[in-house]
């Protein structure tokens, strides 16, 4: 009976059900006009409250909890959003003045006995950065990592289809280190694979898949990433 009543409203079977449908859907057609001064002030007030609450939560809870999971974490470490997700056994070493955006993942490898994440000073890591660490991922100082960059330091499955079907782990070649040298810049949505070194002050263009070493002071782009430009060397010291 109830189902029949609901179907009648949905199908607007007759005038009675059409009237009920119009009454029930009336709120969806209401649009409250914006009062510029009032609603603009309310918008910024709400944004200010959200920002203040998030900073307080990170300062009092999330940052100390993250520090408790590290071997070392330098001064002025700052989370810009929620607590990173740490999976497996990872030794984490963070330098000074490091910023990490929200929804990050730090996962230890399946093949390495110990996985190590090292981050130098004055480095920024963007939203949804993911570290799948083989033996080691080393990020230098003054490095900029944009949003949704993924470091893949190990294979999840073996290449051999028979071994894959048997749910066997990859062999020892399925894991390797990743190194990002000082002053490098990695654009958003990039994937950095194992056994790769990104040279000093190199730039990895948005959406690139890095499968081989990137020379210092170069710009790479594409899948697989290739050198598209050479930069003038700079002495940072």
pLDDT for res 144: 98
pLDDT for res 163: 77
How many angstroms separate the CA atoms of 175 and 156, rounded?
A: 9
What is the pLDDT averaged over residues 211-227? 96
What is the pLDDT averaged over residues 209-217? 97
What is the pLDDT averaged over residues 193-217? 97
pTM for the whole structure: 0.82
Is 157 an active-site residue? yes
- Nearest C-alpha neighbor of 70 from the set 100, 98, 94: 94
Q: 125-166 pLDDT, tens per residue?
A: 999 999 999 999 999 999 999 999 999 998 878 777 877 788
pLDDT for res 16: 79
pLDDT for res 14: 80
How many angstroms separate the CA atoms of 115 and 91, rounded?
A: 6
Identify whether the C-beta of residue 220 lies closer than 8 Å to the C-beta of residue 228: yes
- Flag whether pLDDT at 79 surpasses 90: yes
- Flag whether pLDDT at 219 surpasses 90: yes
The single residue of 39, 142, 157, 183 carrying the catalytic annotation is: 157
What is the pLDDT averaged over residues 116-124? 97
pLDDT band at 179 (very low <50, low <70, confident <90, very high): very high
Identify whether the C-beta of residue 227 lies closer than 8 Å to the C-beta of residue 215: yes
Q: 6-41 pLDDT, tens per residue?
A: 777 777 778 777 877 777 777 777 788 899 999 999
pLDDT for res 62: 93
Per the prediction, the chain carries an average pLDDT of 90
What is the pLDDT averaged over residues 102-110? 86
pLDDT for res 8: 73
- Flag whether pLDDT at 171 surpasses 80: no
- Nearest C-alpha neighbor of 77 from the set 116, 123, 141, 146: 123
pLDDT for res 10: 74
What is the pLDDT averaged over residues 85-98? 94
Helices (H), 26-101: 36-57, 63-67
């Amino acid at each position: 009976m109830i189902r029949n009543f609901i179907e009648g409203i949905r199908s607007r079977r007759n005038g009675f059900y059409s009237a009920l449908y119009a009454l029930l859907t009336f709120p969806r057609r209401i649009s409250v006009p914006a009062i510029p001064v009032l609603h603009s002030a309310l918008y910024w007030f709400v944004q200010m409250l959200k920002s203040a609450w998030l900073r307080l939560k990170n300062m009092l809870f999330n940052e100390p909890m993250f520090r408790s999971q590290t071997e070392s974490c330098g001064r002025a470490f700052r989370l810009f959003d929620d607590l990173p997700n740490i999976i497996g056994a990872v030794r984490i070493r963070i330098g000074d003045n490091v910023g990490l955006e929200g929804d990050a993942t730090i996962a230890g490898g399946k093949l390495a006995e110990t996985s190590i994440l090292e981050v130098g000073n004055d480095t920024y890591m963007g939203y949804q950065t993911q570290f799948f660490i083989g033996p080691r991922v080393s990020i230098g100082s003054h490095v900029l990592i944009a949003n949704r960059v993924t470091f893949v330091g190990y294979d999840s499955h073996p290449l051999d289809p028979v071994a894959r079907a048997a749910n066997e782990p990859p062999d020892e070649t399925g894991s390797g280190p990743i190194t990002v040298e000082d002053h490098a810049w990695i654009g958003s949505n990039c994937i950095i694979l194992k056994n790769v070194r990104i040279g000093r002050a190199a730039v990895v263009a948005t959406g690139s898949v890095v499968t081989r070493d990137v020379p210092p002071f170069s710009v790479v782009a594409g899948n697989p990433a290739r050198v598209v430009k050479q930069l003038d060397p700079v002495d940072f010291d």
